Amino acid sequence: MEIHNLTERSTLSTPNTVPTVQKFLNPLIVKLETLEVKDKTVEKYYQQIKSNFYCSVKAHYLIARDLFDAKTNLKTPDYQRLVEQLGFTGTTQSKYLKVGADIRLWKLFEVGKLPMKWTNQYLLTTLTDEQFEKVEKIIDPETTAKKIADVAQITKEQKDNVVNTLLSLFEIKIDKEEIKSLSVFEKLVDRVKTALSKIPKIQINLDETAKDKMTAYEDKIKKLELKAIQKAEKEKAEKEKKAKRKVQTEINKSVVENLGLGVTA
């Protein structure tokens, strides 16, 4: 991204309240404001922070576009190597690819109308061309999902599909190395259930077979550990046995030599 000085902007008259993004954010700017705000007012802070924030939104859209382009043009092994180098999880890829695949969003990007929120960008990708044309006339970076849905007049099926897709992109990462026993697993489950129970819109459906699977896994680990111990003990016994035979051989050889029973030519 290019960098430019905030002071290069023309001075704007501001009211006593925080301005709206439509009034004081130039959505076509793709340059970061790196200097400190000189005019220490709410409006000027808002202006610079919002401008830099929107630059990050546009940067993420360009990542989405380029990732989709890479997936389209690279061979599968090369694409997999790319995402591994980028450190993108499956969820991250899905989020970017869903947005990057829709050329209509590029048109919004070019005219500074790309929504601030990724979820709203994704919502736009689910619209038919007819619905998109309606929304395109009224959209700006701050347009809400509700307004997009109302103007587009999305169907219940579309709404359900959007919700289901967005929910499928939630990801909880667990360090499997830390789950070393059934008791640790049960404590983790209890903590997760306690935390999520405070959110009324979330229903927790725990797989009843999970505990049985953990028990079976724990038993398998114990058997493997026992097998490893037995193998190590067997190897140790064999080494000790060989060492004793070697010592005994040396002793016998020494006795023979001392008794003058050695074989002469």
Query: What is the rounded CA–CA span in Å between residue 218 and residue 212?
Result: 10
**Quick one: 99 and 159 in the same domain?**
yes
**Domain assignment of residue 260, yes or no:** no
Angstrom CA distances, 55 to 58, 83, 211, 261, stand at: 5, 23, 47, 96
Specify whether the CB–CB gap between 91 and 171 falls below 8 A: yes
Helix (H) / strand (E) element for 44: namely: helix 42-73
**Quick one: 74 and 193 in the same domain?**
no
**Domain assignment of residue 61, yes or no:** yes
**Quick one: 201 and 133 in the same domain?**
no
Taking every pair of C-alpha atoms in the chain, what is the biggest distance, in angstroms? 117
**Domain assignment of residue 65, yes or no:** yes
Tally the domains of the chain: 2
Q: Taking the model in full, what pTM does it have? A: 0.55
**Quick one: 129 and 28 in the same domain?**
yes
Among residues 263, 2, 108, the alpha carbon closest in space to that of 124 is found at 108
Of 101, 136, 167, the residue at which a domain comes to its end is 167
> Tens of pLDDT along the chain (265 residues)?
333 333 333 333 344 444 444 444 566 666 777 778 888 888 888 888 888 888 888 888 999 999 999 999 999 999 999 999 999 888 888 889 989 999 999 989 888 889 988 889 989 999 999 999 999 999 988 899 999 999 999 888 888 888 877 776 666 667 767 766 767 777 777 777 777 666 666 666 666 676 677 677 778 878 888 888 988 888 888 888 888 888 888 887 777 777 765 554 4
**Quick one: 75 and 190 in the same domain?**
no
**Quick one: 223 and 137 in the same domain?**
no
**Domain assignment of residue 264, yes or no:** no
pLDDT, residue 173, reads: 67
**Quick one: 185 and 160 in the same domain?**
no
| Nearest-10 Cα torsion for 19, 20, 24, 30 | 140
**Quick one: 84 and 17 in the same domain?**
yes
**Quick one: 23 and 152 in the same domain?**
yes
Of 109, 144, 167, the residue at which a domain comes to its end is 167
Specify whether the CB–CB gap between 48 and 6 falls below 8 A: yes
**Domain assignment of residue 230, yes or no:** yes
**Quick one: 184 and 54 in the same domain?**
no
pLDDT, residue 11, reads: 34
**Quick one: 86 and 216 in the same domain?**
no
**Quick one: 150 and 107 in the same domain?**
yes
Query: What is the rounded CA–CA span in Å between residue 132 and residue 151?
Result: 9
Among residues 71, 75, 79, the alpha carbon closest in space to that of 99 is found at 71
* Domain that includes residue 187, residue range: 178-255
**Domain assignment of residue 262, yes or no:** no
**Domain assignment of residue 172, yes or no:** no
**Domain assignment of residue 261, yes or no:** no
